[in-house]
A = this chain, B = another copy of it.
């Protein structure tokens, strides 16, 4: 049980499988008025791709070369996606606050 808690040799697949199912289930029954906020939220999540850029920046040498610039730009653009996504979602959701029921 130490560092590794693995149930079976193909746990990765279980994980992905279940992840897909969760994703489907989460959205499936959402009232349509929330479609746009949800899309926006999940769009922001997909900005997790900046982690890739971060890893690239962290692992490569930091010279002022083409790749570094592209990576930096990528992370910047990606962050705009993430933060913008969250802010937009936030603004949309504020509308529901006044809902009484």
Contacts and interface: CB of A to CB of B under 8 A. Distances in A.
A60 interface: no
| Copies of this chain present | 2
Interface string A56-83: 0000000000000000000000000000
Interface string A4-39: 111101111111101101100110110000000000
Nearest to A1: B12
SS class of chain A's interface: helix, strand, loop or mixed? helix
Contacts of A15: 7, 11, 14-15, 18
Interface residues of A, number: 21
Nearest to A5: B12
A4 B8 CA distance: 9
A98 interface: no
Interface of A: 3-7, 9-16, 18-19, 21-22, 25-26, 28-29
